[in-house]
Structure 1
Amino acid sequence: METGYSKWRKLDNAALAFPLVTGKNDSRVFRFYCQLKEEVDPDILQKALDQTMEKYPLFQAVLRKGLFWFYLERRDIRAVVKPEKKPPCSQLYIPDQKSLLFRVSYHRNRINFEVYHALTDGTGAMNFVTELVQDYLILAHPEDKLPWIELADEATPGEQEEDSFSQYYSSKIPKNKEKKPPAVQLKGEKLIHSDMQITEVIFSVKEILAKARSYSVSITIFLTALLLRAIHEDIPKNQQKRPITLMIPVNLRNYFPSQSMGNFFGWIEVGYKFEESTTFEQLLQSVKDQFKEKLQKDRIAMDMNGYVRLEKNPFIRAVPLEIKRYFLIAGANLGGRSITAVYSNIGILKFPPEYKTYIDRFGIFASTNSLQVCSCSYEDQFVVDFTSKIPDDRIQKNFVRMLKEEGISCKEEKNEFPGCGEKQKKEDRKVMQTFTFLCLAVAVICGMFNYLMLGTLNWFWFASAGCFCAWLVVHVAYLKRRNILKNEMWQLLIITVLCVLWDHFTGWHGWSIDFVFPFGALAVLGSIPVIAKINHLEREEYLYYLIQSAGIGCIPAILTAVGLITYTWPSVLSAGISFLTLAGLFIFQKKDMLREFRKKLRI
């Protein structure tokens, strides 16, 4: 069905580094949830999700890896509603696993929407959740004739896919040369993801708004100052020579018109260096001044251009991703030195009054490697969610105590999620660890027998090399187990190189390039269509590997031409079949073939 959406699109600027820094303990996933006043019906929720996906097919994408950048590609995978079982914000992007980058789950009266940050930001997720909850309640209560939420003009497919960073980029805007001082870092051994602490603080919007207005500041400024103060009280005096700095995400759509459903956010850094005489009023005034200074459109445009300028640098663009990743990771780690924690206020979720009968509240929280605070509000309920990998919860307790000292009544909820504390299965990892130990043990035992029997280590080195080769082949197979076709390509490369080395160190007979390489290339080339058929792979999932294997299968022709091949018939067979495969692809599937090259080789 033609939707007007692209088959693939590049990651927006804010998402470029996410796949490189994603892991089990920092999944870069955030959760938006809606707590209803009734139990969730999973069948109706599935129908609502199907209905919502018709409006947001942009989310029906998987993350794929090119030679220079990652990119998103549409997939006909149905999003399926499931009961909540995993720890909140569990990993969604797993390399080589073709799965959607979001999940919808439920638990009792909660609807959960978890999404990988490379797919969208808080605004995009809020739009999706609003639509999902609306569709669910209208389907669940047809007799009430709940009104549809009035939204602004519906975005076209092109507007939803728009890379707004590139649209508003200008090389004429000067660089921001401000140097950011190192900030206080929250020290200590970090919890694993399944033990991540989740603390919710709930209070009245009217009360917090009245208190913020009494200080002549916004709610965001008031809570930012309160969080800085709560962190300050937990920092030892010997670390208080540095400022405590919060990273505050900024919705760039408020400054640059955009209906993009991808990422379009920047951030400001708001910090304060405390002294013993610092009063809360002084802290508030400093935070207020920093917000005013840093939220100027010209300043935001300068910062935004700084992010995009790196992406558009010709040298950086031309560096292969496997090399580029180390610079991006180093840059992310270096940038993190100026940040103590993150605070993100998503804003207000608005529904017609009729929905109050069924909706209790909304909440949002995110995975973190240290401490992150998110907040949102619905009607008179303001919810602040702390996610923390720090073992103790003193900062959260400080925050709650300070709220109460300011006269704001609040309640605290902690770890009411079925997956919290659940230990993840590690059987596969144990199998690989056991195999590694066995390979090492076999090599050592061979060395012991060799020395005890002959008093030397003459054949021990061959046994050790054999154990290493077996370990390397199995280890790569384990790492690439989620993508059979990629696994085959790696195995062909590794086995060929290992065989060439064995051939070289055993007195070169040429068997490695006369037989192993051409027959190996033919085996991979012939297996790809079979695997694609058995696993019902889409063309985009196997075409690039078919082109790769056919290209590799032509290399024996070059080896034959330069005189390195002794027995030529395997090489001629490999080169001939591979060339015909490439020719057939070019003649019959030229458009798809060129599209794959554009995706993979996009600089």
Structure 2
Amino acid sequence: MDEWYKLDNAGKMFHAVSEQTNSSVFRIAAVMKKIVQPDKLQQALDDVLKRLPMFAVKLRKGVFWDFLVENNEKLFVQPESQYPCAPIDPLETNGFLLRVTYYKKRIAVEFFHSVTDGTGALEFIKALIFYYLSYLEEDVAYESALIDIHNQPSYYERDDSYQNYVTDEKTEKFKETSSYQIRGIPIDQTIAVHGKMSAEKVHQLAKEHGTTITAFVTAILIAAIYKERLQYRAYKEEIKIAVPVNLRSLFPSNTLRNFFGVVNIGMSVTETTTLEEIITETSKQLRKKVQKENLQQSINDRVKWQMRLAARFIPLPLKYRAIRYGYRSFSERTKAMTLTNMGKVRLPDSMESHISHMEMVMYPTKKSPINGGMIAVGDELVITFARMIQEADIIRTFFRELSKTYNLEIEVYSNDSR
């Protein structure tokens, strides 16, 4: 009998809210040092999907919730032909909720967020590249940080960890205030703008300010949004950046499915606010909000909200309408953009030497038309902004601030051909 999985807690939400202007598709890519060989990439993909069956799934309609079932079709690697993070068409992928593409030296894997989060996606692409290099007969050494395709799939890899860690404790309700929202002239594709820089230098800068790379970059982003959009407005709203947090470090789990929380970091900026003050404030908030008890609360809220919706007799279209309403009214309203930091990717040295750099592209949405992603490998840190509006002012100011104020050398490149 075919395996089937319930959509995990976050998966239900992504499935409910995805539409043409919110694809819920994110990308992790590795830019190799040599041109990609598709036949070898296909062999590696076949192996990895056999070993990680929770990715080899398709969506089935249920009466009360949709669910995922085993997909026994073949997923083909394709030359890249669309803009990044385009909605996944099941006809194009044989029903799979991910796509694997290549373009010159880039290998990109795009995932529908219902299947996995950044951490699960990273494990997938690390395994894919390792076995791809093995098929090329490159001298790569296996290390235990990688998934071994000769092992049996583990039950723990497909666990719904939200359900495992939900508790009954009641804490005071915190009302999230709304944030300034970025607006612009919509365009019908996603433009990804990448800035490549030294990971070590950015780490040093953050250290000099007594903070982390995430807090430092968030602060520069808030300053850029203020400078470009709010400086000359009479009414100055708070500028908040949503920062996804991997829950596995605080709530031990080996799941490759969704298991993350989101914290909103932000403040009201005025003409007298200094960059130093913004950095201090973002650091303070980030430290406080990623503490275990705060993240426990977000797990409880998320699970309980869906349990209320799960009242058996509410038909699916009504549930999805309720989730979409909640997402647009509460989740999207409380941030100007999302910034996902995948951190420094640990790879065996023998493998790292074949990779130039990596990219993380976070899909934009109608209400968050610019979103950011960061990922580092070796000393190459790449910060990527994906936008679906014409205006690039915030992105330009952000990179200019980093290069002018902090003397960082940044190589900026983009898929914008217009």
- Give the TM bin, normalised by the shorter chain: over 0.9
Q: Does 1:218 align with 2:242?
A: no
Q: Which residue does 2:318 correspond to in 1?
A: 323
Which stretch has the larger CA shift, 259-268 or 306-315?
306-315
Q: Which residue does 2:402 correspond to in 1?
A: 403
Q: Does 1:8 align with 2:7?
A: no
Give per-residue Cα distances to partners, 1:1-42, cap 9 Å, x unaligned.
x9xxx7111111111122222122221101111111111111
Which stretch has the larger CA shift, 49-58 or 119-128?
49-58
Q: Does 1:361 align with 2:354?
A: no
Q: Which residue does 1:390 correspond to in 2?
A: 389
Q: Which residue does 1:249 correspond to in 2?
A: 244
Q: Structure 2 regions of 5+ residues with no counterpart?
A: none
Q: Does 1:162 align with 2:159?
A: yes
Q: Which residue does 1:17 correspond to in 2?
A: 13
Distance 1:97 1:385, change over 3 A: closer
Greater percentage in strand:
2
Q: Which residue does 1:414 correspond to in 2?
A: 414
Distance (whole Å) between structure 2 residues aligned to residue 59 and residue 136 of structure 1: 18
Q: Is the 8 A contact 2:127 2:147 kept in 1?
A: no
Matches within 5 A, 1:48-67: 48-67=44-63
Distance (whole Å) between structure 1 residues aligned to residue 174 and residue 234 of structure 2: 23
Distance (whole Å) between structure 2 residues aligned to residue 239 and residue 378 of structure 1: 43
Distance (whole Å) between structure 2 residues aligned to residue 47 and residue 94 of structure 1: 21
Distance (whole Å) between structure 2 residues aligned to residue 42 and residue 95 of structure 1: 21
Q: Which residue does 1:258 correspond to in 2?
A: 253
Aligned AA for 2:160? D
Q: Which residue does 1:89 correspond to in 2?
A: 85
Distance 1:327 1:258, change over 3 A: same
- Deviation, 1:394, is 0.6
- Deviation, 1:157, is 2.7
- Deviation, 1:149, is 2.7
Q: Which residue does 1:294 correspond to in 2?
A: 289
Q: Which residue does 1:231 correspond to in 2?
A: 225
SS at match of 2:194: strand
Matches within 5 A, 1:126-137: 126-137=122-133
Distance 1:27 1:152, change over 3 A: closer
Distance 1:98 1:170, change over 3 A: farther
Distance 1:169 1:57, change over 3 A: same
Q: Does 1:174 align with 2:170?
A: yes
Distance (whole Å) between structure 2 residues aligned to residue 98 and residue 211 of structure 1: 46
Distance (whole Å) between structure 1 residues aligned to residue 209 and residue 93 of structure 2: 51
Aligned AA for 1:304? I
Q: Is the 8 A contact 2:192 2:386 kept in 1?
A: yes
Q: Is the 8 A contact 1:240 1:273 kept in 2?
A: no
Q: Is the 8 A contact 1:240 1:274 kept in 2?
A: no
SS at match of 1:238: coil
Give per-residue Cα distances to partners, 1:526-551, cap 9 Å, x unaligned.
xxxxxxxxxxxxxxxxxxxxxxxxxx
- Deviation, 1:329, is 1.0
Aligned AA for 1:157? S
Q: Which residue does 1:114 correspond to in 2?
A: 110
Q: Which residue does 1:199 correspond to in 2?
A: 193
Q: Structure 1 regions of 5+ residues with no counterpart?
A: 422-603
Q: Is the 8 A contact 2:84 2:361 kept in 1?
A: no
Q: Which residue does 2:371 correspond to in 1?
A: 372
Distance (whole Å) between structure 2 residues aligned to residue 23 and residue 207 of structure 1: 39
Distance (whole Å) between structure 2 residues aligned to residue 357 and residue 332 of structure 1: 42
Report the RMSD for the aligned CA atoms in angstroms: 2.1
- Deviation, 1:112, is 1.0
Aligned AA for 2:272? S
Distance (whole Å) between structure 2 residues aligned to residue 289 and residue 342 of structure 1: 18
Distance 1:328 1:239, change over 3 A: farther
Q: Is the 8 A contact 2:73 2:94 kept in 1?
A: no
SS at match of 1:388: strand
- Deviation, 1:390, is 2.0
Q: Is the 8 A contact 2:64 2:310 kept in 1?
A: no
Aligned AA for 1:119? V
Which stretch has the larger CA shift, 317-326 or 301-310?
317-326
Distance (whole Å) between structure 2 residues aligned to residue 223 and residue 256 of structure 1: 26
Matches within 5 A, 1:432-471: none
Q: Is the 8 A contact 1:134 1:149 kept in 2?
A: no
Distance (whole Å) between structure 2 residues aligned to residue 348 and residue 315 of structure 1: 38
Correspondence for 1:279 among 274, 279, 283: 274
Correspondence for 1:139 among 127, 135, 140: 135
Correspondence for 2:144 among 150, 154, 163: 150
Give per-residue Cα distances to partners, 1:548-589, cap 9 Å, x unaligned.
xxxxxxxxxxxxxxxxxxxxxxxxxxxxxxxxxxxxxxxxxx
Give per-residue Cα distances to partners, 1:373-430, cap 9 Å, x unaligned.
00000000000010011211011111111101112111111117xxx77xxxxxxxxx
Q: Is the 8 A contact 2:83 2:191 kept in 1?
A: no
Distance (whole Å) between structure 2 residues aligned to residue 49 and residue 239 of structure 1: 54
Q: Is the 8 A contact 1:63 1:70 kept in 2?
A: yes
- Deviation, 1:238, is 2.5
Which stretch has the larger CA shift, 237-246 or 297-306?
237-246
- Deviation, 1:358, is 1.8
Which stretch has the larger CA shift, 378-387 or 237-246?
237-246
Distance 1:14 1:244, change over 3 A: same
Q: Is the 8 A contact 2:75 2:94 kept in 1?
A: no
Distance 1:152 1:112, change over 3 A: closer
Aligned AA for 2:318? I
Q: Which residue does 2:306 correspond to in 1?
A: 311
SS at match of 1:191: strand
Q: Is the 8 A contact 2:226 2:269 kept in 1?
A: yes
TM-score normalized by structure 1? 0.65
List structure 1 runs of 4+ shifted beyond 3 angstroms. Answer: 93-98, 152-156, 314-318
Greater percentage in helix:
1
Q: Identity of paired residues, percent?
A: 28
Give per-residue Cα distances to partners, 1:419-467, cap 9 Å, x unaligned.
x77xxxxxxxxxxxxxxxxxxxxxxxxxxxxxxxxxxxxxxxxxxxxxx
Matches within 5 A, 1:499-578: none
Distance (whole Å) between structure 2 residues aligned to residue 89 and residue 113 of structure 1: 10
The structure number with the bigger radius of gyration is: 1
SS at match of 1:318: coil
Q: Is the 8 A contact 2:123 2:146 kept in 1?
A: no
TM-score normalized by structure 2? 0.93
